[in-house]
């Protein structure tokens, strides 16, 4: 197993992207727009008032099917609500293409779909959000 670095960013957002059954291209594009315009960066008064588009920050997108886990009962997660791998990868690619069209490909980095990745993060805050769009 190699320690090859696949994607990295400087200041910006690390997005763990989960795809569920029933998700479609429209949700992938809508979620991307929401993330790019979500105001989580501080303005001059220190209030969360600036978006990734406002700051010129970068975006690292890591596919993460375990976000679709059902943890409501028992002591083992279930993944029946996760999208099938072929659909999940298609929607992951749609998300990446949408982000690159808005930010430019030089500001969008990505993980490797289906890979066992080691992800490192320096969390400034810490500030963590879970964003969803409904179809």
**Given the residues 37, 66, 71, 128, the one annotated as active site:** 66
| Paired residues of 48 in beta bridges | 42
Query: Is 65 one of the catalytic residues?
Result: yes
The Cα 120–Cα 118 span in angstroms is 7
Query: Is 55 one of the catalytic residues?
Result: no
**Given the residues 27, 64, 94, 98, the one annotated as active site:** 64
The Cα 99–Cα 93 span in angstroms is 10
Indicate the helix (H) or strand (E) that contains 17: strand 12-17
Query: Is 79 one of the catalytic residues?
Result: no
Of 8, 35, 7, 14, the C-alpha closest to 125 is: 14
**Given the residues 65, 94, 95, 98, the one annotated as active site:** 65
38: its two tokens: 């979500």
The Cα 113–Cα 92 span in angstroms is 8
Catalytic residues: 64-66
């Amino acid at each position: 197993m190699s320690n090859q670095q696949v994607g990295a960013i400087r200041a910006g957002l690390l997005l763990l992207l989960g795809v569920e059954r029933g998700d479609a291209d429209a949700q992938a594009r809508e979620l991307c727009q929401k993330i790019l315009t979500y105001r989580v960066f501080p303005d001059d008064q220190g209030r969360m008032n600036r978006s990734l588009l406002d700051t010129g920050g970068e975006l690292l997108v890591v596919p993460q099917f375990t976000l679709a886990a059902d943890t409501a009962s028992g002591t083992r997660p279930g993944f029946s609500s996760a999208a099938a791998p072929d659909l999940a990868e298609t929607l992951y690619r749609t998300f990446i293409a949408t982000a690159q069209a808005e930010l430019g490909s030089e500001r969008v980095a990505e993980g490797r779909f289906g890979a066992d990745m080691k992800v490192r993060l320096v969390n400034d805050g810490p500030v963590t959000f879970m964003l969803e769009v409904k179809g």
